[in-house]
Amino acid sequence: MAVESEYTIDELARAADTTVRSVRVYHERGLLPSPDVRGRIGYYGSDHLNRLQTISRLLSRGMKLNGIRELLEAWDRGDGLAEVLGVNDQAVSEPTTVAAPGSPRPQRKPPPELPEYVQQALADSGDPHEAYRVANPRCADLTTRLADAGIPARDAFQLIERLRADCNQIADQYATQLFYFLAGQVYEQSGRTPKDRAKLESDLAIARLIATRATSELIDQAFARHSELPPS
């Protein structure tokens, strides 16, 4: 039976190629579990080392400590980061489904009907824009601005739902390829050990961050082209 590795804080910092101060900061910020204290000495295990290595990977690719803490808390709850991030398991478990360049694009689906909770909000006497407030606060801001511009609430909601459908279509078309190339491909070629699984989940977090930033930039550029003033 393998013996569980134990580290003092100095040994843990050296093994993770970080500093004692960083280990303490991660513990204070809730990213690293407490050590097993015996006497006056705290002892860390291999789980602490794996956690530190995951934190280092995420930091090196631009994630902030608060975001990392949220992801790790979800992981500790057993949610699975792929689920929390909205990543379909197909992105890594079925890489053969990656579409080849030049494949026909999926047919555009008709806009969906308004969700039940939106229809209920429209039927109530209160502010219907609260329907988006919790789950989609920026969508709520947009529908409110549309209402201020004189657009009926139902028309504003239908516009947002068409936008949602198009965003879903973009994700459906590109997510599998992007997440496979950025995360699943390496995992597929690994030994699929618990350590490899931990790396996959952090790589998926990074892949979503990068893809979201790139897509937001492209959408911003596309909207900018339509917001240019006509020649005077």
Going by the DSSP 8-state scheme, the letter that residue 7 receives in this structure is B
User: Is the Cβ–Cβ distance between 218 and 95 less than 8 Å?
Assistant: no
Alpha helix segments (H runs only) across 77-193: 81-84, 90-93, 116-123, 137-148, 153-179, 185-188
The whole-number pLDDT of residue 110 equals: 54
51's enclosing H/E stretch is helix 46-60
The whole-number pLDDT of residue 94 equals: 42
CB neighbours of 1 closer than 8 A, spacing ≥ 6? none
Nearest to 95 by CA among 173, 203, 178: 178
CA distance 213 to 48: 30
Three-class SS of residue 16?
coil
The whole-number pLDDT of residue 73 equals: 77
C-alpha distances in angstroms, 229 versus 141, 153, 162, 218, 226?
Answer: 24, 28, 26, 20, 9
CA distance 199 to 142: 37
For 2, list phi and psi in degrees, rounded to 5. Answer: -70, 140
Per-position pLDDT tens, the chain of length 232? 445 678 999 999 999 889 999 999 998 888 898 899 988 899 999 889 888 888 888 787 777 788 788 777 777 766 655 555 555 444 444 443 334 444 454 454 554 577 776 777 777 767 777 777 766 788 888 988 998 999 988 888 888 888 988 888 898 888 888 888 888 888 888 888 888 888 888 888 888 888 888 998 999 999 888 887 777 6
Overall pTM surpassing 0.75 (yes/no): no
Task: Give residue 176's identity as a one-letter amino acid code.
Answer: T
Express the helix, strand and coil content of the chain in percent, nearest 5 each: 65, 5, 35
CA distance 211 to 32: 27
Tell me how crowded residue 49 is: count the other CB atoms within 10 A of its CB: 17
